Amino acid sequence: MAEDVKIFGMPAESGRWIYVIAGMLMNFCLGAIYAYGILKVPLAAYFKTLGVEATATQMLYPYIVFLLVFALSMPLAGPYIEKLGPKKISIIGGILTALGWFLASMVTTPTSLSIFYGVIGGLGVGIAYGAPIAVSARWFPDKRGLAVGLTVLGFGFSAALIGPIADALTKAFAASGGILVTFKIFGISFLILLTLLALLMKFPPAGWAPKGWKPPVPKAGSAPVKDLMRSEMVKTPTFYGLWFCYTIGTLAGLMAIGISKSVGMEVGASAGMDAVAAGALMTSLVIPFAACNGFGRPIFGSLTDKLNPKNAALVSYVLIVLASLLLYFNPTSVLIYTISFGILWGCLGGWLAIAPTACASYFGTKDYAKNYGLLFTAYGAGAVIGNLLAGQMKDIFGAYLRVFPIVAGLAILGMVVAALTLKPAAAKK
């Protein structure tokens, strides 16, 4: 019977947390991309020894390509999570992720890095990323936001540990390859870890539900949540509203990740700090920023469970507006910079819990992997738009800080769209 399911000898209600922990560790490996801001410094120095003078924009291409391929491959992998199962898909994605990192140890230009690290690594992450989320969503119909938030916590928190480890490895092997050896070590380590963790991925039996739990009864006047297939989901205004809101939420955070150190250097210079001291401080702040990104996921996931996805989205937008305006009107305060960027990184993590939870809440879980895969393309759109927008403001006005009033305006627009469209959807007949 589905009610008597055991997980490693434990009742399913207790043993299902193993899937959350395994998913969290998988995402820790997959989320190493967020440490690229630290990796690109020794990479640029390495390219210089080969006679390749890479510009700042060229050094950002691998990061942008990785995030874009990651986002675009999610909807392609979604149907196969259901067809082949989360275990096989996780293994395939893990192998490609590890291969991307390992091949990065052989690059000689930013272009080859964009191909090996960006395309192959991004494809692997895109394939593997949705599987542990789908598993957690299925096993936790009663605590979906919290479970999904904890599962993706590892992705956001990854940079806090991967960055310092990469820096230490690069220095330790400076005489024998430096950053290239670091890429090899990560590639081999990710291959082993992701394969072992993937073996744990499994959906619950059909019809299983936690003991004593019953689906919530819709409030008077509201429509019951229905399981919509992807072809039905795309016919609803809820999908397009959620996609737009997800784009704005990730735009602010992914832009912040891409320009954190650069903006910090601007603020530090305005505050009278010398370049060396400012650079050291901004590098060290990656760790607390990554922690904000990581813990933003279970915090907003739990908030989504308690308030519903629409209200959680509104909370995130209010925080984005406050952080953006505080930073813009206090361009010489390192403290305000630290608080504001901590909020922006945290809200990015928040949206990576709000959106998958909203997808399951609004469109059901029957076709969840494909539905969320398509919705996740908003992440890629946010990555490209946010970073290009920041670059244009820097080129036109000479300062990244000019982009933050625009971010605040987009967040206010997101509040309007969320208020009007975020609600359970019914398929059009």
Which two tokens mark 292? 């904000």
Same domain, 84 and 205: yes
Instruction: Report d(CA 266, CA 275) in Å as an integer.
Output: 10
Last residue of a domain, one of 167, 183, 210: 210
pLDDT band of 223, cuts 50, 70, 90:
very low
Same domain, 242 and 174: no
Domain of residue 347, CATH code? 1.20.1250.20
pLDDT score of 397 more than 80: no
User: Which DSSP symbol is given to 235?
Assistant: T
pLDDT score of 316 more than 70: yes
Last residue of a domain, one of 157, 176, 210: 210
Same domain, 115 and 262: no
Q: How far apart are the first and last CA of the chain?
A: 36
Same domain, 123 and 148: yes
Q: For residues 176 and 31, which has the higher predicted lDDT (pLDDT)?
A: 31
Same domain, 298 and 199: no
Instruction: Report d(CA 48, CA 108) in Å as an integer.
Output: 10
What is the percentage of the chain residues whose pLDDT exceeds 90? 38
Determine contact, residues 181/57, Cβ cutoff 8 Å. Answer: no
* Predicted pLDDT of residue 228: 87
- Summarize pLDDT for 347-393 with one digit per residue, the tens: 998 998 899 889 988 988 778 778 888 898 898 899 888 877 877 77
350 in any annotated domain:
yes
Instruction: Report d(CA 111, CA 92) in Å as an integer.
Output: 25
- Summarize pLDDT for 64-90 with one digit per residue, the tens: 889 889 988 887 887 888 889 999 999
- Summarize pLDDT for 134-154 with one digit per residue, the tens: 899 888 888 887 888 788 888
C-alpha angle 212/217/219, rounded to 5°? 150
Q: Is 6 helix (H, G, I), strand (E, B) or coil?
A: strand
pLDDT band of 218, cuts 50, 70, 90:
low
Range of the domain at 358: 227-429
Which two tokens mark 321? 């507006």
pLDDT score of 56 more than 70: no
342 in any annotated domain:
yes
220 in any annotated domain:
no
Instruction: Report d(CA 412, CA 160) in Å as an integer.
Output: 30
Same domain, 312 and 166: no
What is the percentage of the chain residues whose pLDDT exceeds 70? 95
Instruction: Report d(CA 351, CA 414) in Å as an integer.
Output: 12
* Predicted pLDDT of residue 220: 46
- Summarize pLDDT for 86-104 with one digit per residue, the tens: 999 999 999 999 999 999 9
Looking up tokens 């039905």 gives: 232
* Cβ atoms < 10 Å from Cβ of 89: 25
* Number of domains, the chain: 2
pLDDT score of 297 more than 90: no
Determine contact, residues 213/142, Cβ cutoff 8 Å. Answer: yes
Same domain, 118 and 255: no
Q: What is the mean pLDDT of the chain?
A: 86
Instruction: Report d(CA 173, CA 161) in Å as an integer.
Output: 18
CA 28 to each of CA 153, 160, 200, 422: distance values in angstroms, whole numbers, following the listed order? 8, 10, 16, 30
Same domain, 2 and 147: yes
Same domain, 342 and 385: yes
* Half-sphere CA count of 217, side-chain side, radius 13 A: 1
Instruction: Report d(CA 244, CA 351) in Å as an integer.
Output: 12
Virtual torsion, Cα 363, 366, 370, 374, nearest 10 deg: 0
H helix intervals, 8-116: 12-15, 17-30, 36-49, 56-84, 86-103, 110-113
222 in any annotated domain:
no
